[in-house]
Amino acid sequence: MHALLNDSPTIPVSQHTGRISSKSLVNLDQLLLVVPDPAGSSAWKLLPEGTRLQAAAKKMPQDSAVLLHSRLNNQRQTLVVGGKIAADASAFQQLTLARKLVAVASKETGIRLGIFVAGFDSVQQASITKRMLAAALAASFHMPAYKSQPKPKPAHDIVLLGLAERIDISRVQAEANGNNLARWLTCMPPNKLDAIAYTDILKSLADHHGWHYKRYSLKELRKSGAGAFLAVAQGNQNDSACIVRLRSRPGKKTASVDLSLVGKGIIFDTGGTNLKPFQSMLNMHADMQGSAVALGTLLAMTELGLPYAVDCWLAITENRIGPEAYKSRDIVTAANGKTIQTIHTDAEGRMVLADTLVFASRDKPKLIVDFATLTGSCIGAITTHYSGVFSNRAEWHPRLKRTGQVSGERVWPFPIGKEFMDELKSDVADLKQCSVKGTGDHILAASFLAEFVEHDTPWIHIDLSAGENEGGLAHIPSTVTGFGVHYTLSLLLDEKILEAGA
């Protein structure tokens, strides 16, 4: 990872199989314990001092996520934080419990954190253990901070205890690294992550991971006719705006593309000429989260060594005010030749994605997935607990929803199509950028984007309404969630969506 990103080392994770003893706990500062709900005495007997801990658990509020907060009678006075969960609990419920337990344990500093899942069958034990680990890795990551007095560092080591057999945690670690990268970039202050700094980081990551890096400058984009992207970029005070393509070809040289990841990278969004009010503009350095999630997904896939030819397209610019900024009722021509009548300059995300989707689809990938913090309308429809998902393959809706349930990063499918384009008819251009009414804008925005996916390429659009959720979401402890990395890996590896799109 680029040196600028974080001084956080990779968290070592060790595994101990079989019955645990007092000796195996002696070096732990904290122990996270998960038992079934209801928990029989057999689960407690698997743990030293289990009878005493079970008695302590009975004194805790039974409606609390934290079932136990006690200490072992060892020299280290290991803190035991316990929780209970039904064997058939959903992935989201398991991840949420994991985040809450880790949060309690993290209030104390320590070097070594243990995780023990007791009383479940081996399959359930492995699954819950992985989700506990995911929460611990998310909490152990050092987010950007510029305080003169840094916070105490979280656990340095994680130990998985009492497993029936060793489990493969490579996917958990790769997804954690991808999510951490996405969150880290998203939380960067706007004066630290401008377009120049962002592309420097991308170039460094590309060099480190063997990705081919190509930066399309404004001059090149003008030659390519990318008028939709350029309309937004023209308000910038310099020529730093660009579209970046990262190309991964693990173990093979091929012109074909299996997967294109596309991300909205608005590194600061004032709303443009239609200026945002203060509350709405305050956190608009995070409007590039879609690009960070696309990048984090590429990183996770690379670390796992997945044998896919992947392109990652990132549309990077600010949306600023100024004498050159684009205006309502401007007419611009996108890279596919379609003319757009602009309506509201704060609908800039769909503009920069339009041209980027054209470029991505011209390579005829088997699948395009784009990520964007695109519309407030999607938040209004499903809150910040879910993200919206759209596709030009309506028959995939059940699969897309199921992937959210399996991964714990939940999505809700919405329709798109020509019937919605009536709202985007223009008297002077091929289509309007958005509707003046604003009703169902998340659906209209996705329907607009579909007009720029060429060759009937299978396409999934994720409107990241869950990109920020106060207090965290699922296993992620920060308000910025990095939603999408875990979901996309599940889409590829569990749902095997690439095979469906081939």
Contact criterion met (CB below 8 Å) for 74 and 22: yes
pTM of the model: 0.96
Question: Is the pLDDT at 201 greater than 80, yes or no?
Answer: yes
Q: What is the pLDDT of residues 457-476, one digit of tens each?
A: 999 999 999 999 999 999 99
Largest Cα separation within the chain, whole Å, is 78
**pLDDT, position 253:** 72
> What stretch of H or E contains 356?
helix 348-362
Q: What is the mean pLDDT of the chain?
A: 93
For residue 42, what pLDDT is reported?
82
**pLDDT value of position 155:** 61
Catalytic residues: 276, 350
- Which residue ranges form the domains of the chain, and what is each CATH number? 13-167 (3.40.220.10), 177-501 (3.40.630.10)
Rounded average pLDDT over 285-291: 97
Strands (E) across 89-237 are located at 112-117, 157-163, 212-216
Tokens 């199989």 locate to 17
Position 223, amino acid: K
| Between 257 and 253, the higher pLDDT residue | 257
Strand 459-463 to strand 431-432: parallel, antiparallel, or no bridges (unpaired)?
A: unpaired
Q: Write down the pLDDT at residue 309.
A: 96
Q: Among residues 374, 402, 355, 354, which one has the least CA distance to residue 500?
A: 402
Task: Judge whether residue 3 has pLDDT over 70.
Answer: no
Decide if 128 contacts 117 (C-beta within 8 A): yes
pLDDT digit string, tens, across residues 361-403:
999 999 999 999 999 999 999 999 999 999 999 999 999 999 9
Copy the structure tokens of residue 284.
Answer: 């608009």
Assign 502 a pLDDT band (cuts: 50, 70, 90).
very low
pLDDT band at 332 (very low <50, low <70, confident <90, very high): very high
Whether residue 110 contacts residue 30, with contact meaning beta carbons closer than 8 Å, is answered with yes
Q: Is the bond preceding residue 365 a cis peptide, omega within 30 degrees? A: no
CA distance 118 to 124: 10
Mean pLDDT to the nearest integer, 396-418 = 97
